[in-house]
Amino acid sequence: MLIHPSSDRDASRRPVEVPKRSPGRGADFHPVLATPTARLRKLRPDDRGRLIEIFDEQGRTEGTIDAPRHFAADNARRWIAARMAEEERGYALHWAVCLLSEDRLVGYVGLQDIDFQHGQAELCFWLETLHGSEEFQLDVAQAALAFAFTTMGLISMRSVSAPGRSEPTGVLTVLGMRQLPPTSKAGSVWTRFDDVHIWTMNKRQWAEQLRS
């Protein structure tokens, strides 16, 4: 069983039954995903050292707006612990991104704010700056999207990028996500802000993009 926050804030934290194919709350199981270039595994407390190393210098990561900017030792410990707690409560799935040839963390991808009632979540990712990192990001993000749409049964996805950041914009565009205009309009389930870029796609659009 996974738990997700209800849209009714007064009645949130109620357990909601989801299909057995979805990851189980409180279980040892965590999906491990693979792409032609990367392996996506569970975040672990011993990833703390790599987080500090990656974020010790600014400008070494590329990704969506949630990418941290700096980590001291205690910040890294709390960042990992918070994501492990979110998974335990069923609100998110988080992966450490590694190269196929080694187990060392080089980035992160996650499905946050999972809402099974509305079939939606937020795709977040960041990667250490590497040669060919945009193609690598695309592989990693595509793996998370495929898991969300085909295994978890979600039907829509959003992502948030910062204006002026070309790397995530290119990846999100190739994935087939569409940037919403900055002015909020009726009919959208997503909240929009003027100082960030909101991207969305649904399962049908994702499948069409794969076939194109």
Q: Is residue 8 part of a domain?
A: no
Q: Is residue 52 part of a domain?
A: yes
Strands (E), the chain: 2-3, 15-16, 33-34, 38-42, 61-63, 93-99, 105-115, 120-128, 156-161, 178-179, 197-202
The pLDDT of residue 28 is 58
Q: Is residue 126 part of a domain?
A: yes
The pLDDT of residue 103 is 95
Question: Taking residues 76-94, what's their average pLDDT?
Answer: 93
The pLDDT of residue 145 is 97
Tokens representing 171 are 């990846």
Identify whether the C-beta of residue 142 lies closer than 8 Å to the C-beta of residue 174: no
Q: Is residue 193 part of a domain?
A: no
What are 10-62's pLDDT values in tens digits? 333 333 333 434 444 444 579 999 999 899 999 999 999 998 888 875 546 67
Give bridge partners of residue 127 from the DSSP assignment. 62, 107
Q: Is residue 119 part of a domain?
A: yes
Give whole-number Cα distances, 195 to 77, 171, 182, 183, in Å: 29, 20, 8, 11
Q: Is residue 124 part of a domain?
A: yes
What are 138-185's pLDDT values in tens digits? 999 999 999 999 999 999 999 998 877 666 888 999 999 999 886 555
Q: Is residue 142 part of a domain?
A: yes
CATH at 119 = 3.40.630.30
Distance between CA 35 and CA 18 in Å, rounded?
A: 26
Q: Is residue 206 part of a domain?
A: no
Domain with 122, as residue range(s), is: 31-159
Distance between CA 195 and CA 164 in Å, rounded?
A: 11
- Into how many domains does the chain fold? 1
Distance between CA 189 and CA 192 in Å, rounded?
A: 9
